[in-house]
Homo-oligomer: A and B are copies of this chain.
Amino acid sequence: MSKTDPDLAKMIDEIAQEMRARTDRGRVASYIPELEKVDPAHFGMALVDLDGQVHVGGDADLPFSIQSISKVFTLTLALGRVGDRLWRKVGREPSGNKFNSIVQLEHEQGVPRNPFVNAGAIAVTDEILSGRQPRETLGEILRFLQFLADDETIYIDHEVAASEKRTGFRNAALTNYMKSFGVIENPVEYTLGVYFHHCAIAMSCRQLANAGLFLASDGRHPVRGHSVVSSERARRINALMMTCGHYDGSGEFAYRVGLPGKSGVGGGILAIAPGRASIAVWAPGLDETGNSHLGRVALEELAKRTGWSVFGR
C-alpha cells in the first residue's frame, strides 16, 4: 500500500467540485440559532496523508463550528486523565437512538451508552473537569487541539457557545438527569458550560484533518514523531467512531463509507483511513439523522475512488 498518491490532490479537487454542483444539500441545523446562519452552499475538504502531505478542495481553510467532532478529542483527553476508569460512567455501545435521546438514560441508571451521544460526551467533559474551574479545563481542551493541528489560531466561537447556552435546554435536561444518578460530579452549569464551549470550537478542514492524523497512524504523529496516545488506544478510539460516530446513522456510514468517522451538527465530519490518511469534510446541510449529507456523500466517493475501506483487503 503506497502512502502517498499523486492522484489524491486531483481526486479531492474533483470531489469538491462535484459536491458544490449538487443541489441535494440537506438542511442546516436549526436547533442552535447561530448555526442556522451558515450558508448551505459551503463545501470544504482536506486530506492529510501519513507523510504529512495535505490535499485540499473547496472551502478547506474556512473555519466552521466543529460541534460534536470535539468529542473525539475530549474522549482522548479523558482517557489520558483517568484511563479505563472512564468506562464506569459511560458505555461503549451504539445506542440505536437520536443523538439527544434521554430514554436510554432512564432505562440504564443515568449511564450513557457511549462517549459520542450528547449525554456521553457531557459525562466525558465532566470527567475532564474533575473539580477544576471551567476556564482552566476549556483552556486545556483548546490547547490540545492547537497542539494536534500545530496551529495556534484555532479558537472558540463565543457567539455560538452563547447561542447554544441560551437554547440548550435539552442538553441541560440530559446533564441534570445524569446528575440525579450521580454520574455528573461537577456543578451542572460548570460541566454544561465547558461542553457548550468545546462544541463551539471553530476549525477549518485543514486544521481538523491535521488534528486527527494521530488516529490514522496508531497514535503517533507520522512526521513530527511524537506519540499522542498508545497504538491500542488509537485503535479503540477509531472503533468507537466506527460503531457510534454518527448517532443512529452509524451503521449507514460504516456500510457506505467503511471508515471510522465522527460528525458534528455544524456539518463537519472527521474520517480516519488507518495507515493512510486523516480526512476532514464540511458541508453544512444535514440529513435526517443529523449528519452532514454531502459530507458523507463526499467520503463515500473518496472511499470508492481510492478503494480505501477498513473492510476490504
Residues of A in contact with B (beta carbons under 8 Å apart): 1, 50, 91-97, 101-107, 113-114, 169-170, 172-177, 179-180, 188, 216-218, 231, 234-236, 238-240, 242-244, 248-252, 254-255, 258, 260, 274-276, 309-313
Contacts and interface: CB of A to CB of B under 8 A. Distances in A.
Contact of A255 (B97, B106, B240): B240
- Shortest 10 CB-CB contacts between residues of A and residues of B: A96-B96, A275-B313, A94-B94, A310-B310, A238-B311, A173-B177, A169-B180, A93-B251, A173-B176, A235-B311
Contact of A231 (B1, B96, B255, B312): B312
22 contacts: A93-B94, A93-B96, A96-B104, A103-B107, A172-B172, A172-B188, A173-B173, A173-B176, A173-B177, A218-B313, A234-B311, A235-B309, A238-B311, A238-B312, A239-B255, A239-B258, A240-B255, A243-B254, A274-B310, A274-B311, A274-B312, A276-B313
A104 B107 CA distance: 12
A201 to B, nearest CB: 23
Given A176-B172, A242-B242, A255-B240, A216 B93 contact: no
Nearest to A313: B275
Given A173-B174, A274-B311, 13 more contacts: A91-B251, A92-B252, A102-B173, A103-B107, A173-B173, A176-B176, A231-B312, A234-B311, A235-B311, A238-B312, A239-B254, A242-B311, A243-B243
Nearest to A94: B94
B176 A250 contact: no
A251 B312 contact: no
Nearest to A167: B180
A3 B106 CA distance: 47
B96 A97 contact: yes
A273 B244 CA distance: 21
Nearest to A310: B310
Contacts of A114: 251
Nearest to A92: B251
B234 A274 contact: no
B311 A260 contact: yes
A237 to B, nearest CB: 8
The interface centre, meaning the residue of A236, A250, A311 with most chain B CB atoms within 10 A of its CB, is A311
A313 B278 CA distance: 12
A191 to B, nearest CB: 12
A236 B311 contact: yes
B176 A180 contact: no
Contacts of A106: 101-103
